[in-house]
Amino acid sequence: MAPPHTMQNRATGRVGRTAARRALGPRRACPFPLSFIGFVQAPEATKAPVLGKIGRSTPFLKRKDEPDNPMKPPHSNTPIRLVERPSDPGPLIGAHMSIAGGMSRAIERALAVRARALQVFTRNANQWKAKRLLRADVRSFRETWARSGLRAVVAHDSYLINLASPLATLRRRSIRAFAEELSRCEALGIPYLVTHPGAHMGRGVREGCDRVAASLNEARAIAKAASVTVLLETVAGQGTTIGRRFEELARIRDRVARPDLVKVCLDTCHVHAAGYDIVSERGYDQTIQEFDDILGLEALRAIHFNDSKTERGSLVDRHEHIGKGYLGTKPFARMLRDARLNAIPKLLETPKGKDGVVMDRRNLALLRRLWVEGSEG
């Protein structure tokens, strides 16, 4: 059985706890040592108001004892204002981190590997039903982020969502789930939400792209979330997935009602598997130029740094540690020293080690060395 995060499972929305358990094998103990984990219960967590479910007539934030009186949000829905810190000359790199134990725990894990950027899920990515965000959780995340010194935080949506689905039931469910993702990002102050466009399931790329655009419009009608920009991620092209070619992402963006709120996330493993050459110097230059011609480099807001276990053009999505796959270290070194990409967060989605951070430390350390060598050269 394929891992639960792969696109063939995502395409049909069949990922769930049972599929995930079978794919991952027997349950293992928490990968973080007890000395690393500390859990603190907010003093008023049990009485804190919660986020209302999307689509209901109840206020977005509500008190159980005052259902007809909407509360003002505890924070504005603007991006986090970071504390002033000395400028860090290092590269803007980081990793996707677990939110086990609470949203703010992901920030602590990012700091443990000296990350300057972070990607998170805002909920369990393998279940339709999402645990509500308590106001105390929102406050804790925002305050921890503001103190952390992290320069960028982005979110990734649930693996179950398929905005391109021709199946009415799955598409409606995906739209509502995506609207909730937008609302959670807005509440947490996260400015970017990464999503795979989805799979057309045999109906054709053009029809699938148009359906994604329509789904994004419907999700925005449910949750405006004007402070959150959707990042369409490039995909490997497995099955009937959409987003293998830059033109497909451009078609989606050009058909949404708010194209200013739709940008792009480039995944190095995915573009390699899709057939783009980013390994050779000439191929890298051509790929970046093609991206600029079709989408515009100003639309690139995040990069997933992943090596690939498969050859170029395989259309198979399998992430590998930096320098251990078919990409090697050269494309990552080029991106790190490409001045046009300096301000764009570059995030690992590589396999985790036994304690959840050991391999991130190694991969990030290698990227820092590549950046230093490029700077000195």
Per-residue pLDDT at 374: 75
> What one-character-per-residue DSSP string does 257-292 give?
S-GGGEEEEEEHHHHHHHT---SSHHHHHHHHHHHH
pLDDT for the residue 22: 47
Q: What pLDDT score does 357 carry? A: 87
Other C-beta atoms lying within 10 Å of the C-beta of residue 61: 18
* Phi, psi (rounded to 5 degrees) for 155: -115, 155
Question: 71: part of which helix (H) or strand (E)?
Answer: none
Confidence at residue 356, expressed as pLDDT on a 0 to 100 scale: 79
CATH fold label, 98-358: TIM Barrel (3.20.20)
The span from the CA of 325 to the CA of 269, in Å, is: 10
Q: Where are the domains of the chain?
A: 98-358
Using DSSP bridges, classify how beta strands 61-62 and 50-51 pair: parallel, antiparallel or unpaired.
Answer: antiparallel
Contacts of 215 (CB under 8 A, 6+ apart): 163, 164, 171, 174, 175, 178, 198
pLDDT for 353 equals 77
Question: pLDDT tens track of the chain, all 377 residues?
Answer: 444 444 444 444 444 444 444 444 554 444 444 343 343 344 343 344 444 444 433 333 333 333 333 334 444 454 544 444 444 668 999 999 999 999 999 999 999 999 999 999 999 999 999 999 999 999 999 999 999 999 999 999 999 999 999 999 999 999 999 999 999 999 999 999 999 999 999 999 999 999 999 999 999 999 999 999 999 999 999 999 999 999 999 999 999 999 999 999 999 999 999 999 999 999 999 999 999 999 999 999 999 999 999 999 999 999 999 999 999 999 999 999 999 999 999 999 999 977 778 999 999 999 999 999 876 65
- For the record, the structure tokens of 53 come out as 């479910």
Structure tokens at 222: 């449910």
Q: Which amino acid, one-letter code, is at 340?
A: R
Q: Which two tokens stand for residue 335?
A: 């991106």
Widest CA span in the chain? 65
Six-digit token string for 329: 């270290």
Type of residue numbered 364: L
* Tokens of residue 89, six digits: 């000359």
